[in-house]
Structure 1
Amino acid sequence: MVLINGGVRRILSLALYGSVNIDLLDFSLETIFSKRTGWAIDVSSLIYSCSTILAVVIAVIKLDREKLLDFATDSGLIGSKHLLVQVAAGMALGIAFHAVKYFGFYAIKSLIVLGAVYRETIEMSLKPYSAYESWLQLHTFLYIPIRIVLPAFAEEILFRAYVQRHMIEHLGVMKGILLATMLFVLGHLPGEGGYTDIIIFMMAMDIIQYCITGYLYHKGKYIYMMGTMHATNNAIYYVFF
């Protein structure tokens, strides 16, 4: 197991701080550049994506060259088995967890109103189809890698291969996974829109999801499964919502 020195830990602290505050820059740029339309979204998304990727690159560079191969092996980046199975499992987990989070919220709300067909359930079912037209554009093909795929893998490397492993070394498995998960959720607090009931519900479900998958990563170092699951979650959110 690669030991993470104080310099890298300071880098991680800055990265976590930046991952929270970069949302403010992202939202500001999107407002300036016509509010998520055309090529404007790619400009702000590129800056957003590079923030996490740059943090990972700097942290890796800070490792001694002798330790770099050990880190890549220990984290699952090199020598990972069953790559296609990991990718398929990641996609399945991403879809399953998102379905539980989104549809589960409306199911609970329906039970609260004594089984009545909740109006938002119907609206929610129709909402995804309204997004297709804007996604059938050229800039979408740049948006997918720079805003959905690359940040997902960079964040999983940052939070799982660095933060979670460091926390486990010092706090034990369960506490380490829980703290790493809480830091991850903290870095994804909502910006615009505030804390609605569905946002609070999904944040609670995120904690459960990433505690479960964090434990799976700890046991098997399935970094490609984690990255694919994260990217699938991103894709579902940005395509349909």
Structure 2
Amino acid sequence: MTERFRLTIVFDNYTCLEGFPTLWGFSAYIETNRYTLLFDTGSNGRVLLQNMERLGKNLQKAQALFLSHPHWDHIGGVDSVLERHPDMHLFLPDSFSKHMIRDLRNQVSALTIIGKEPQELLPGLYSTGTMQSIGGPGEHAAIFDTSKGPVVVTGCAHPGIVAIARRATEITGREIALLVGGFHLMYEDADTITDVIDQLESLGVASVCPTHCSGDLAIEMFHEAFGKRALAGGVGRVIDL
């Protein structure tokens, strides 16, 4: 369990600070009292590194890189990141192609491929295990077991944000303190989004930060439903627990 948790969104198609570019994709820089981790790399390595520098986030301090799934808007900055800092432990789902895995293995100090089963990757950091989706790639989400409750970080939530939240609750045995990232609801109608919100609330999700592929309608509806427990995403957003 981690006593200190800070998440900074460093790449997003939304921004909460003026002057930052909004390119499609997502990445977060996560600091705990035990380790620092980069979650996904957005779609553009140059912009990612520039954003991190402007936000005062040092790539060299990251011990690990967590890639949620092999879509371009989450791995577009991988080469730039690993060229600058290859001494990281890379965690990725088994939905990556064998050719990409081979290439990545040659660029990092350690690489772990995540199968279907949940597993602890670092102290207090869990993977949901690679979860399958209809029409999308296998994807895993990161679970940080903090003293305030589990924090679940998603890339695009292709397997379904409710399924991911349910899996995280089963793994930790605790209600989720924060669910943050892409919820992949941008193509859904209001009735579907309402059902998702109801299911997440029934699971006991305390707070949310929907961004990236969540969609404008879903983001608005989450803020209406969760009130002050819904946080705005975007580049520069800092969340402390």
**TM-score under structure 1 length normalisation:** 0.27
**TM-score under structure 2 length normalisation:** 0.27
Task: Specify which structure has the bigger relative contact order, considering alpha-carbon pairs within 8 angstroms and separated by 6 or more residues.
Answer: 1
Q: Which has the higher helix share?
A: 1
